[in-house]
Amino acid sequence: MGAGRLITWSPSVTLVPSRGCFNHCGYCSFRVPLDQARPLELSQALELLQRRPEAREVLLLSGEVAPASPERPEWLRRLLALSRLALAQGRLPHTNAGPLALAEMAALARLNPSMGLMLEGLGPAYGPLHRQAPSKRLGVRLGQLEQAGRLGLPFTTGLLLGVGESQADRRRGLECLAALQRRWGHLQEVILQPWRPDGEQGRPLDAQERRDLLATIALARRLLPPEVHLQMPPNLWPLAALPEALEAGIDDLGGIDSADVINPAYPQPSPQQLAALLEPQGWRLRPRLCVHRRWWPWLPPALQRRVQRLAHQLEGACASAADHAC
Ligand code: SF4
């Protein structure tokens, strides 16, 4: 029984500035080669935002351009323009676009109340998968998480789980994140993301995979400071069994859009489905913004005012909605 524990989620819409990516991760079904990428135009982005009026978070999820590429300045300009568009539409951008130079991250941080970058994972299983992905080197990822901490930027990170890593590898990854949090305090969420095959090979987690992940969730809850939310994408866990992940320590379901652009074979449950499952079992499901309340004081004043206004709207929408998931 959930004993009234609060489970949060973020009404979200995902925009993909570009699927073009200079990395070539062994598990990726998202990327296209840079020379075949079609960047998202602002007019297309506006249309997508207008189709999801209830989404407060705009997740900008982009393929990466190499740090020294002549295409990088234009790629960054697009991320900044899309962030401004999100704000102009009364939403909050949350950018996850790979490693950023200090000046790039600082420029985006003026517009994004929170940003994200997965640590991905540690251990030999990731070696072959990241052989052609220079930005996935552990030192690069840890350096980015440090940089975000130095900038005081509320941050989302996480581990990709189930590519062949051991429980000891998972523990080391979680210990790295715990140490970062003790140093900087900026990690608002850690996503425990099960790797899933996509397309026709898509299949739900089996019982053994779930048991392993439950042990990892419980370990994460023990190792990470209590203010760090543990997130599980609800479409990657069998819906009827979701309460067992919550019992183990998950307390956030992340951004929920109408579809998952990374794992399109796994449909998103609707907030109403989640509420119908969880609330009779004693869980309280509530929408949130992309930045959790504890980190609002970290934001520049202009972003703080926006966040407070949007939170007020979200609470008003909940109060007048028939179901608590809004
Ligand atoms: S960095 Fe991301 S988009 Fe690029 S290949 Fe790796 S997983 Fe795919």
Concatenating the DSSP letter of every residue in 68-129 gives T-TTHHHHHHHHHHHHHHHHHTT-EEEEE-S---HHHHHHHHTT-SEEE---B--STTHHHH
Give the tens place of pLDDT for each residue, 24-77: 999 999 999 999 999 999 999 999 999 999 999 999 999 999 999 999 999 999
pLDDT of residue 325: 57
User: Is there a domain that residue 325 lies in?
Assistant: no
* Nearest residue to 15 via CA among 114, 110, 118, 93: 93
Is 92 part of a structural domain of the chain?
yes
Give the mean pLDDT of the chain.
95
Q: Which atom of ligand 1 is nearest to the CA of 27?
A: 7
Say how many Å lie between the CA of residue 47 and the centre of ligand 1: 25
Nearest Cα residue to atom 2 of ligand 1:
63
Closest to 136 measured CA to CA, from 25, 267, 225: 25
Identify whether 175 is part of a domain: yes
Could you tell me if residue 1 is inside a domain? no
- Round to whole Å and give the CA distance between 284 and 303: 28
Look at residue 187 and tell me whether its pLDDT is greater than 70.
yes
Indicate whether 2 pLDDT > 70.
no
Kindly state the percentage of the chain with pLDDT values over 90: 93
CATH of the domain at 65: 3.20.20.70
Per the model's pLDDT, the better-predicted residue between 318 and 12 turns out to be 12
Q: How many CA atoms within 13 Å lie on the side-chain side of 130?
A: 19
Task: Report yes or no on 326 lying in a domain.
Answer: no
Pick the atom of ligand 1 nearest to 19's CA. 3
> What does the alpha-carbon distance between residue 228 and residue 157 come to, in Å, rounded to a whole number?
10
Any residues with Cβ below 6 Å from ligand 1, and which?
Answer: 21, 23-25, 28, 30-31, 63-64, 98, 133
Q: What is the pLDDT of residue 167?
A: 95
Q: Which domain holds residue 221?
A: 6-320
Does residue 323 register a pLDDT over 80? no
In a domain, 96, yes or no: yes
Q: Is residue 259 scored above 80 in pLDDT?
A: yes
Atom of ligand 1 nearest to the CA of 22: 4
Q: Could you give the number of structural domains in the chain?
A: 1
Tell how far the Cα of 124 is from the centroid of ligand 1, in angstroms.
19
Q: How far apart are CA 244 and CA 265, in angstroms?
A: 23
